Amino acid sequence: MKVLVTGGAGFIGSHIVDMLIAEGFEVVVVDDLSTGNEGNLNKKALFYRLDIQHPELEKIFLKERPDYIAHQAAQKDVRVSVADPIYDAKINILGSINILQNCLKYNVKKVVFASTGGAIYGEQETFPAPESHPLKPISPYGITKLVVEQYLHYYKVIHGLDYVSLRYANVYGPRQDPHGEAGVVAIFIQKMLNGLQPVINGDGEQTRDFVYVEDVARANVLSLKNNTTAQVFNIGTGTETSVRMLFNYLKDFINPSIREKHGPPQQGEQKRSVIACDRAKEFLHWAPSLDLIDGLKKTYEFFYKRSNQDAD
């Protein structure tokens, strides 16, 4: 069986590629390397460097004839989406439609889509939010993910294309970009490792649901293999952790002498985010396997090793 992973050179996509290859799937990656990194690419995957919006995408479908798609490529930065909603919508909506049209033309069996459990619900009314929570995104990024879920519904109902949409919580782990605006775990770890002071936005009481990247990759692989007719799943832990708590967990094992430093709050930042994952447990037989402290330690070990290699 062959899987085309869009965004397979990125943080989450590269872990999905590794897991699929370990399970014996053939893997093709399409990635334009806009935020991804060739160093993340598994050598056993066939790589095409291309923008998902490009008409040449069809040639790859024609040549490779993938059975499944794991669609991870996206403009994923909420702040970029606010600054340039047209750029964001082109990649996230038009790029996705380009993929889905090719799925129909080349008889793809199923698409697994990387949606968001952080941005799709907007400011939550219930904690943790189940999949049935009202969908009121408060960023262009969240809107594009919701729109693609609606396209997936259309393609299923009208054209019979199977899909699963996974609404990821805040994903963290090895290979996350520590230099971007998103990814507070990677940013804090890299700063602490470099002896720099991480800055907590506002009072740090904003909460997130942190899920380890290999657990997210496993949810993707299970979704490809599973015959469930349920289509939308939250993928998180159901546990709410404040940014201050996160800072203190990390400093305890990286550098206990670092003190908290607070900066101005980020305008428009969501206050609380935590999602319920009972549906994924029931239908995908998926549950997070690592608790936060163990996941943070594994992530730290990755960044520690990488910074030593860079120094050699």
Catalytic sites, residue numbers: 141
Residue 164, CA distances (Å) to 86, 239, 302 in order: 26, 23, 30
Report the alpha-carbon distance of residue 272 to residue 95 in Å, rounded.
Answer: 30
Query: Where does this chain bind ligand NAD (CB under 6 A)?
Result: 7, 9-13, 30-36, 51-53, 72-76, 91, 95, 114, 116, 118, 168, 170-171
Q: Smallest gap, in angstroms, from Cβ of residue 253 to ligand NAD? A: 22
Number of H helices, E strands in the chain: 11, 13
Eight-class DSSP state of 14: H
* Residues ≥6 apart with Cβ < 8 Å to 267: none
Report the alpha-carbon distance of residue 205 to residue 226 in Å, rounded.
Answer: 38
Nearest CB to ligand NAD, comparing residues 155 and 258: 155
DSSP element (H, E) containing 189: helix 184-193
Q: Smallest gap, in angstroms, from Cβ of residue 180 to ligand NAD? A: 8
Provide the angle, in degrees to the nearest 10, between the axes of the packed helices 243-254 and 184-193: 30
Q: Smallest gap, in angstroms, from Cβ of residue 263 to ligand NAD? A: 21
Nearest CB to ligand NAD, comparing residues 67 and 177: 177
Nearest CB to ligand NAD, comparing residues 59 and 261: 59
Q: Smallest gap, in angstroms, from Cβ of residue 34 to ligand NAD? A: 4
Residue 233, CA distances (Å) to 9, 113, 276 in order: 24, 10, 9
Nearest CB to ligand NAD, comparing residues 95 and 204: 95
Nearest CB to ligand NAD, comparing residues 37 and 226: 37
Q: Smallest gap, in angstroms, from Cβ of residue 113 to ligand NAD? A: 8
Pairing verdict, β 162-168 and 110-116:
parallel
Planar angle of CA 121, 88, 184, nearest 5 degrees: 60
The helix/strand/coil state of 31 is strand
Q: Smallest gap, in angstroms, from Cβ of residue 81 to ligand NAD? A: 10
Report the alpha-carbon distance of residue 250 to residue 252 in Å, rounded.
Answer: 5
CB atoms inside a 10 Å sphere around CB 253: 12
Provide the angle, in degrees to the nearest 10, between the axes of the packed helices 292-311 and 184-193: 50
Eight-class DSSP state of 23: T
Nearest CB to ligand NAD, comparing residues 186 and 258: 186
